[in-house]
Amino acid sequence: MIRCQKFFTNHSKHEKLSLTTAVAFSFLKDRLNYSIKNNWVDGNGGIYFILPIQN
């Protein structure tokens, strides 16, 4: 969460985002980086996420 706070406090165009939006953005950004690292790319060049469903 510190990373999210640091990102949004250093960029004035994001200062009006809600906490929920900031957390969702941070989560999706992390998943994007993980997908890129694992080369999860479809046939059209789109990057996709794998999100396991847990009980």
The three-state (H, E, C) secondary structure of 18-37, written as one string: CHHHHHHHHHHHHHHHHHHH
pTM above threshold 0.85 = no
pLDDT-based confidence at 44, cuts 50/70/90? very high
Q: What is the pLDDT of residue 55?
A: 57
Whole-angstrom Cα distance, residue 6 to residue 27? 14
Q: What is the pLDDT of residue 38?
A: 93
Domain range annotation of the chain:
1-55
